[in-house]
Amino acid sequence: MDTDLLAREFRSDVAYLNTASHGLMPARCVTRVQEAVARMATGDIDMPAYFAVNDGLRAAFARVTGTTADRVALGNAVSVHVGLVAAGLPAGSEVLVAEGEFSSVVNPFAVRDDLRVRQAPLEKLAEAVDGDTALVAVAAVQSADGRVADLAAIREATRAVGARLLVDMTQAVWWLPLPVDSYDYVVCAGYKWLLCPRGTSFLVVSRETQEAGALVPLHAGWSAGEDPWASCYGPVERLAPGA
């Protein structure tokens, strides 16, 4: 452990154990946020530089999760990413979730009256997958009690019936090695173990799922264009090829 680094980045008078709720922002992160707010207050905003920061963030997440930056999309909340997945499901689809799962993983499906949401105990989630299951949505690690899902068994069960698997890695990324590209969807809030500011989240979609057209780009604003600066007005003529 680099004690000098810890001393520079975190206050020595704080003993903080609630990482399941919120990670502590390191000093360098606090400084960058303060600098950004100060620039907004004076109108001194460098938009191209913001895009470069986003690209660096996508690359950093890819590095710690074992994927590539072109597969990583940024967002502001896990529920927004899960909502995008929910919007792509055909009417009548069954979504299987763990009992007591965190609401951001469940609610985007539950609020659609034309989807069927079924619950099963976390330990029996793989056994509960059947031919009616279109998608399993589960957190790799439960925030309520720290239980770890048997993702290998769940992945095997979903593949056996042709269902897709969405994994929330908010409580797992950084300390629990997971094969990100083995799942159809991965979502992650950045303000916990990754020590990002609130309002930072990530989505990774497998190449197979993307090519199958499982997601509709509902949130495709101007920055979704292959050349964002040429996509500021009117319909985006060419979407970016990556996430």
The CATH number of residue 212's host domain is: 3.40.640.10
9-29: buried (b, 16+ CB within 10 Å) or exposed (e) per residue? beeeeeeeeeebeebebbeee
| pLDDT in the model for residue 241 | 84
In a domain, 238, yes or no: no
Contact 140, 169 (CB under 8 A): yes
In a domain, 225, yes or no: no
Tell me, yes or no, whether 20 and 67 share the same domain. Answer: no
Tell me, yes or no, whether 60 and 41 share the same domain. Answer: no
Tell me, yes or no, whether 64 and 41 share the same domain. Answer: no
Tell me, yes or no, whether 111 and 7 share the same domain. Answer: no
Number of domains, the chain: 2
Tell me, yes or no, whether 41 and 156 share the same domain. Answer: no
Tell me, yes or no, whether 68 and 14 share the same domain. Answer: no
| pLDDT in the model for residue 158 | 98
In a domain, 229, yes or no: no
| pLDDT in the model for residue 1 | 66
In a domain, 88, yes or no: yes
Phi, psi of 202 (to 5 degrees): -135, 150
- Cα three-residue angle 193-196-200, rounded to 5 degrees: 110
Q: Are strands 185-189 and 133-139 parallel, antiparallel or unpaired?
A: unpaired
Tell me, yes or no, whether 214 and 105 share the same domain. Answer: yes
Domain of 29? 3-45
Tell me, yes or no, whether 37 and 154 share the same domain. Answer: no
Q: Using CA atoms, how far apart are residues 34 and 196, in angstroms rounded to an integer?
A: 14
Tell me, yes or no, whether 37 and 60 share the same domain. Answer: no
Residues of the chain with pLDDT under 70: 1
In a domain, 235, yes or no: no
Amino acid at position 4, single letter: D
Tell me, yes or no, whether 129 and 197 share the same domain. Answer: yes
Contact 58, 109 (CB under 8 A): no
In a domain, 142, yes or no: yes
Question: Quick one: CA dihedral 130, 136, 139, 142, positive or negative?
Answer: negative
Neighbour-count burial of 171, counting CB atoms closer than 10 A to its CB (0-12 exposed, 13-18 middle, 19+ buried) = buried
What is the number of other CB atoms lying within 10 angstroms of the CB of residue 211?
A: 9
| pLDDT in the model for residue 18 | 74
In a domain, 236, yes or no: no
In a domain, 237, yes or no: no
In sequence order, the β-bridge partners of residue 119 are 97
Tell me, yes or no, whether 22 and 85 share the same domain. Answer: no
pTM above threshold 0.75? yes
Q: Using CA atoms, how far apart are residues 85 and 214, in angstroms rounded to an integer?
A: 8
Tell me, yes or no, whether 32 and 134 share the same domain. Answer: no
